[in-house]
Amino acid sequence: MKNGQQVAVKVQYPGVAKSIDSDLNNLASLLLFSNILAPGLFLDKTIAVAKKELSMETDYENEATNQIKYRELLKLGNRN
């Protein structure tokens, strides 16, 4: 708690944001070379979405903004 206010802390190791693209590219290569993909799976699109979503997880300013919006929406929902 800080000044009586509850806070949440999310710890990020240095360089995690930069490693996301590399890790997902390696995963894509492994999946392609192992030939275990289901027919019709669009790996390039799947990897692109994963990169975007994981990248957003490392943008803490955006995450804080979204948490504030979520809190406000919860307050609106509890007015009944």
2: left (phi over 0), alpha (psi -120 to 50) or beta: beta
H-type helices in 1-80, by residue range? 16-34, 43-57, 60-77
Per-residue pLDDT tens digits of the chain, which is 80 residues long? 557 888 777 777 888 888 988 999 999 999 888 888 777 778 889 899 999 998 888 888 888 898 899 999 998 887 75
Spatial distance between the Cα atoms of 77 and 30, rounded to a whole number of angstroms: 45
What would the two tokens of residue 62 be? Answer: 């955006």
Query: What is the value of pTM for the model shown?
Result: 0.61
List the beta bridge partners of residue 5: 2
- Chain-centre distance for alpha carbon 56: 5
Which residue ranges make up each domain of the chain? Answer: 16-77
